[in-house]
Amino acid sequence: MTPRRIAIAAPHTAAIESAEAAVAAGGNAIDAALAAAAALTVVYPHQCALGGDLIALLRRPSGEVTAVISAGAAPAAIDPARFAGLDRMPPQGPDTVTVPGVVAGWQALERLGASLPLSHGLTRAAELAESGYAVSPGLDRALQGRRDILLADEGMVGVFGDGAGGLKREGDAVTQPALAATLRRLAEDPEAMYRGEIAESISARLVALGGAMAASDFAEHRAEVIDPVELEHGGARWWVAPPPTQGVVLLGILPEALSADDPSDPALVEAARAALLTRTAQLGDPRGGAIDVPAMLDPRGRSAEGHLPRPGRAMGDTVAVVAADSDGTVVTLIQSVYQWFGSGILDPATGVVLHNRGSAFSTDPEHPAHVGPGLRPPHTLLPVIAESEDLLVGLGCQGGSAQPWILAQVASGVLDPARDPAEVLSRGRWVIGARDLGFESLTLLAEPGTDAAADAAEGLGLGTARRDSRFDEAGHVQVARLHRHTPRLLDAASDPRADGRAAVFTAQQ
Question: Do the Cβ atoms of 356 and 97 come closer than 8 Å?
Answer: yes
pLDDT at 1: 57
Angle (CA) 336 258 305, round 5°: 60
pLDDT at 308: 41
pLDDT at 174: 97
Q: What is the CATH number of the domain that holds 489?
A: 3.60.20.40
Mean pLDDT confidence for 319-333: 96
pLDDT digits (tens, 9 = 90+) for 259-312: 987 888 999 999 999 999 999 899 999 999 989 999 999 998 765 544 444 444
**300 and 449 belong to one structural domain:** yes
**235 and 170 belong to one structural domain:** no
- Which SS3 state, helix, strand or coil, does residue 347 take? strand
DSSP secondary structure letters along 428-481: --EEEESGGGT-SS-EEEE-TT-HHHHHHHHHTT-EEEE-SS--GGG-EEEEEE
Q: CA 237, CA 248: separation in Å to the nearest integer?
A: 13
pLDDT digits (tens, 9 = 90+) for 451-473: 999 999 999 999 999 999 998 88
Mean pLDDT confidence for 216-243: 97
Report if residue 489 sits inside a domain.
yes
**301 and 406 belong to one structural domain:** yes
pLDDT digits (tens, 9 = 90+) for 17-37: 999 999 999 999 999 999 999
**143 and 247 belong to one structural domain:** no
Report if residue 478 sits inside a domain.
yes
Query: Residue 61: is the preceding peptide bond cis (ω within 30°)?
Result: no
Q: Tell whether the model's pLDDT for residue 77 goes beyond 50.
A: yes
Q: Which residues contact 337 (CB under 8 A, 6 or more apart)?
A: 45, 46, 47, 48, 49, 51, 52, 316, 317, 343, 353, 354, 355, 356
Confidence of residue 3 (pLDDT cuts 50, 70, 90): confident
Report if residue 224 sits inside a domain.
no
pLDDT at 314: 47
Report if residue 223 sits inside a domain.
no
Average pLDDT, the chain: 93
pLDDT digits (tens, 9 = 90+) for 161-203: 999 999 999 999 999 999 999 999 999 999 999 999 999 999 9
**388 and 457 belong to one structural domain:** yes
Report if residue 371 sits inside a domain.
no
Q: Tell whether the model's pLDDT for residue 147 goes beyond 50.
A: yes
Mean pLDDT confidence for 120-125: 98
How many structural domains are present in the chain?
2
Mean pLDDT confidence for 409-436: 94
- How far is the CA of 356 from the CAs of 12, 233, 392, in angstroms? 22, 35, 34
> What percentage of the chain carries pLDDT values higher than 70?
96
**148 and 243 belong to one structural domain:** no
Q: Tell whether the model's pLDDT for residue 233 goes beyond 60.
A: yes
Confidence of residue 317 (pLDDT cuts 50, 70, 90): low
- For residue 388, give its domain range: 229-314+381-506
Of 66, 182, 318, 350, which one is the catalytic site residue? 318
Kindly compute the dihedral angle of the four CA atoms of residues 307, 308, 310, 312, in this order, to the nearest 10 degrees: -170
Q: Tell whether the model's pLDDT for residue 122 goes beyond 80.
A: yes
Angle (CA) 237 243 244, round 5°: 145
**161 and 248 belong to one structural domain:** no
pLDDT at 508: 65
Q: Tell whether the model's pLDDT for residue 255 goes beyond 80.
A: yes
Mean pLDDT confidence for 402-424: 96
pLDDT at 439: 84
Report if residue 116 sits inside a domain.
no
**485 and 392 belong to one structural domain:** yes
Q: Tell whether the model's pLDDT for residue 84 goes beyond 80.
A: yes
pLDDT at 302: 63
Report if residue 369 sits inside a domain.
no
pLDDT at 440: 81
Number of Cβ atoms within 10 Å of the Cβ of 443: 18
pLDDT at 312: 43
**233 and 170 belong to one structural domain:** no
- How far is the CA of 69 from the CAs of 56, 148, 167, 341, 452, in angstroms? 7, 33, 34, 21, 37
pLDDT digits (tens, 9 = 90+) for 207-225: 999 999 999 999 999 999 9
Q: Tell whether the model's pLDDT for residue 316 goes beyond 90.
A: no
> Is 318 annotated in the active site?
yes
Which residues face 212 on adjacent strands? none
pLDDT at 437: 79
**425 and 306 belong to one structural domain:** yes
Q: Tell whether the model's pLDDT for residue 232 goes beyond 50.
A: yes
- How far is the CA of 238 from the CAs of 22, 65, 161, in angstroms? 28, 10, 44
**152 and 251 belong to one structural domain:** no
Mean pLDDT confidence for 420-427: 96
